[in-house]
A and B are shown apart, each in its own frame.
Chain A
Amino acid sequence: MADEVILLDKWVSPFGMRVRIALAEKGIKYEYRDEDLRNKGELLLKMNPVHKKIPVLIHNGKPVCESNIIVQYVDEVWHDKAPLLPSDPYLRAQARFWADFVDKKIYDTGRKLWTTKGDEQKSATEEFIGYLKTLEAELGDKPYYGGEKMNYVDVTMIPFYSWFHTYEASGNFSIESHCPKLMAWAKRCMQHESVSKTLPEPEKNYEFVLQMKKRLGIE
């Protein structure tokens, strides 16, 4: 029986991008649906009644919600191709720890960066750079967080690369000047089709954010 895989998503969502990259890495065929988040569809509300958020993976009619949970699910079900989590429990725990770090720190602080001004924005920018430096230190001299290949942590973090231009323009700073190794890592990940075909152009992302700011009444 062929698998039916549907992904409810939004093109600009870094969380959705994680899932798209994981599916692409594993060569899984799926139906992509771009959701209108200001007018949420019945299927989304039915498949994610608790949070009503994207991404939602629907596998043979059953929903899986929360991007990192979806990526782990995809890795477990399609474990034969391009494994994203290592098999050693200690290394798995380290990968989960860093994915959790990205989840807890990058999105929220990044959001503060482009939704605030003045001192608040300056403080958010400093905090954000601090977190990027921590991630850069963890990468060390490895080509990827997974060593020689991309892993769960790379997949969790790389979508934010499409948001870097937005963060830099909003906070008036250069990520490359603070974290050159992290930028090199991001460009290395972009060599992978699974990543380059998933991440939107940074300018498109910035345009989207400017429109959001207008709508939210933030200048």
Chain B
Amino acid sequence: MADQGEVKLLKTWSSLFGLRVVWALKLKGIPYESVDEDLTNKSDLLLQYNPVHTKVPVLIHNGKPICESLVILEYIDETWSQNPPSLLPQDPIQRASARFWAKFMDEKALPSMWQAFTKKGREQEEGLASIAEKLKLLEAELEGKKFFGGEEIGIPDFALGWLVNLVPVFEEILGLKIVDEERHPSLSEWSRRISDIRVIEESWPPRDKLVTKWAAIRDHFLATARASSG
């Protein structure tokens, strides 16, 4: 294996975007140093390497930063193209499709989930209807396939990883079912398949800590909404 240089990953203990990068690095067998940030007290390193967004994750490869998780995943795939698995298909139409679905997960599915989780009343109902509609589309897209790209795991699967470990946490806090076997047989099977991948399963942050963190986030948003409505 060629010398892959120094690889550092700035993330947080629970960031779903950071997790994607962990999976890519681990699956490709790339050694790296992990730095967990405290986003209430951002380190000089983070501010220096991501001055535009000051967000995690940031991959620092031989001192050069790459920001935005989907950009990082493509960078990893191109830089360590000799290390399997390939994170994107070779065929341009399939690559475009993989990018399309990764973008859909980040720009449509995740914001719907966020609305369902951080609101109540009618706004929450709208969020729940929206995530239900997005899941229906994802279910249809996944049907008959092992992963979104077909036989192999790839970037769209990483982009939806939060469905596997975070949605059960949201369901517990909300007391609602968002993903179920009956409406989402392919997604449910896919979730089990993702969890069976050892490096992914080992990377999940502790569930009880996640429940505590996300319950506090929901409380905060509900309190803010109450305060601003007078």
Which positions in A face B, CB cutoff 8 Å?
Answer: 50, 59, 62, 64-66, 69-70, 72-73, 76-77, 89-90, 92-94, 96-97, 100-101, 134
Q: Which residues in window 71-101 of B have CB below 8 A to A?
A: 71-72, 74-75, 78-79, 92-93, 95-96, 99-100
Q: Can you sample 11 A-B contacts with CB below 8 Å? A: A50-B100, A62-B93, A65-B100, A69-B103, A70-B96, A90-B66, A90-B75, A93-B66, A93-B71, A97-B66, A100-B71
Instruction: Find chain B residues with CB under 8 A from A69 CB.
Output: 96, 99-100, 103
Could you count the A-B residue pairs with CB atoms below 8 Å apart for me: how many are there?
56
| Pairwise interchain contact B79-A89, C-beta atoms closer than 8 A | yes
| Pairwise interchain contact B96-A97, C-beta atoms closer than 8 A | no
A70 to B92, CA, bound (A): 10
Instruction: Find chain A residues with CB under 8 A from B95 CB.
Output: 72-73, 76
Closest 9 CB pairs of A and B: A89-B78, A93-B75, A73-B96, A96-B71, A64-B96, A93-B66, A76-B92, A89-B79, A69-B99
Instruction: Find chain B residues with CB under 8 A from A66 CB.
Output: 99-100, 103
- Best-surrounded residue of A59, A73, A77 (most CB of chain B within 10 A): A73
Given A66-B103, A69-B103, A101-B52, A93:B96 Cβ within 8 A: no
The residue from A59, A72, A76, A92 contacting B78, defined by CB atoms under 8 A apart: A92
Instruction: Find chain B residues with CB under 8 A from A73 CB.
Output: 92-93, 95-96
Instruction: Find chain A residues with CB under 8 A from B214 CB.
Output: none
Instruction: Find chain A residues with CB under 8 A from B104 CB.
Output: 50
7 more A-B residue pairs beyond the given contacts A65-B100, A97-B71, A100-B71, with a C-beta to C-beta distance below 8 A: A66-B99, A66-B100, A69-B100, A69-B103, A76-B92, A89-B75, A89-B78
Instruction: Find chain A residues with CB under 8 A from B66 CB.
Output: 90, 93-94, 97
Instruction: Find chain B residues with CB under 8 A from A65 CB.
Output: 100
Shortest CB–CB separation between residue B88 and chain A, in angstroms? 11
B64 proximal to A (CB < 8 A): yes
| Pairwise interchain contact A90-B64, C-beta atoms closer than 8 A | yes
| Pairwise interchain contact B71-A72, C-beta atoms closer than 8 A | no
Instruction: Find chain A residues with CB under 8 A from B103 CB.
Output: 66, 69
B139 proximal to A (CB < 8 A): no
Shortest CB–CB separation between residue A77 and chain B, in angstroms? 5
Instruction: Find chain A residues with CB under 8 A from B70 CB.
Output: 100
Q: Which residues in window 55-70 of B have CB below 8 A to A?
A: 61, 64, 66-68, 70
A207 to B32, CA, bound (A): 54
A134 to B71, CA, bound (A): 19
Query: Which residue of B has the minimal Cβ distance to A92?
Result: B78
Instruction: Find chain A residues with CB under 8 A from B92 CB.
Output: 73, 76-77
A101 to B70, CA, bound (A): 13
- Best-surrounded residue of B61, B100, B103 (most CB of chain A within 10 A): B100
A92 to B52, CA, bound (A): 18
A50 to B108, CA, bound (A): 11
Given A90-B66, A97-B71, A64:B61 Cβ within 8 A: no
Query: Which residue of A has the minimal Cβ distance to B76?
Result: A89
B137 proximal to A (CB < 8 A): yes
| Pairwise interchain contact A97-B78, C-beta atoms closer than 8 A | no
| Pairwise interchain contact A90-B61, C-beta atoms closer than 8 A | yes
Query: Which residue of B has the minimal Cβ distance to A96?
Result: B71
Shortest CB–CB separation between residue B46 and chain A, in angstroms? 16
Query: Which residue of A has the minimal Cβ distance to B50?
Result: A97
The residue from A50, A62, A76, A90 contacting B137, defined by CB atoms under 8 A apart: A50
Shortest CB–CB separation between residue A3 and chain B, in angstroms? 13
